[in-house]
Amino acid sequence: MAARLCENGSGQYRCTHGNQTLETSCVLLLIMLGKVFLDFFMLQVKPKNVKASFMGYFCISVALLDLTLLLIFCFIFCFEDFALWGMRFTKYHICLFTQITSLTCGILHYPVYLVAALDYYTTVSQTSPFSKRGQKSLYVFAVVIIWISGFFCILKVPAVYEELEIQKSVSPYQCPVSASLQSYSVSCAMVLLLGTALLARWKDMVSTLLSARLVSISSQPALMFPYTSNTTTCFKWQLLSRLLICFLGTWAPLVVLQVLVVFLGAQIPAYVDMNVPWLYFINSFLLAAVYWCRCHEVELAEGTWSSDPFVSWKFCFVPFDNENTEPADEPGVVIVIC
């Protein structure tokens, strides 16, 4: 019967667009499969002894949401047209769920980064007043509230329904998804801040890197930087150079990617943009900013440095752990773990 439908004019139309629907579903399914693999790969390679934080729990929630969507997509793709709990599901729902997820993720960047920054700003210099179990419960509650609020805002806005209906009527066999203006503005702000910091400290960074030596500490590669105390040099500017070296040494590929996105004006779908590697990249940036803003209040306790699973910030503060430290008689060393 399918062959007969493809023989006449109307049949040819149906057959062609049926293939387009199938191709669109396949592309969305493959994209989500790659995203899930990347999310869980990052969660697997990170150290296990990481301090609990809001951003850490939000990363887990993103990975679980992506896995749930992938399973739903696979189920719909395999059964194509079925009814469940009185609702009929077709391949169109793969596109619909993707669009709703994109719209939701697109409005969550600002609140997520704001909550994460406040979390680090209030806990980096002191012990949390909550117990570990209470702190984890608070993080889980905050993550759930943010996701529910995001979906509620999207599903309750009449303009969203109108936009989805327009997209369906204009291109019923395609799946246009929105990009996130919030994510693009964050990328612009990061590129601007990093570029300004590099212009201000590039001489100190170059001299520090030229005098660095690669050593091994506990079977891990590390860079050893010679340091000569200089009372005329501002403490915060020296710390900024070390923070930049640590951050760029770890996340240089993503920094280059952000520069390309900003200058090329690339439109990345919001459901792709919200991923675990990107969130950990933002996590490192926020921690570096908090450490620099509250450098004189940072505690050198071991638990302070385990909030970032990919960058070790501890040795950025050596020997600057005390503002009133007496000048050393001999040059010391600053060790930055790669």
Decide if 11 is inside a domain.
no
Q: Of 91, 95, 92, 29, give the one whose Cα is nearest residue 66.
A: 29
Decide if 257 is inside a domain.
yes
List pLDDT tens digits, range 283-308. Answer: 999 999 998 888 777 665 555 566 78
Tell me, what amino acid is at 302? E
Decide if 335 is inside a domain.
no
Decide if 131 is inside a domain.
yes
Contact partners, residue 311, CB within 8 Å, separation at least 6: 246, 247, 250, 251, 284, 287, 288
By DSSP bridging, strand 213-217 and strand 82-84 are unpaired
Q: Of 104, 186, 184, give the one whose Cα is nearest residue 146.
A: 104
**Residue 270 belongs to domain spanning:** 20-316
Decide if 47 is inside a domain.
yes
Decide if 90 is inside a domain.
yes
| Residue 116 · residue 61 · CB < 8 Å | no
CA 81 – CA 88 distance, rounded (Å): 7
Decide if 189 is inside a domain.
yes
Q: How many domains does the chain have?
A: 1
List pLDDT tens digits, range 201-229. Answer: 888 888 777 766 666 656 666 666 555 45
Residues in the chain where the model's pLDDT stays below 50: 1-19, 172, 228, 230-233, 320-338
CA 55 – CA 284 distance, rounded (Å): 10
Which pTM was predicted? 0.81
- How high is the mean pLDDT of the chain? 76
Decide if 64 is inside a domain.
yes
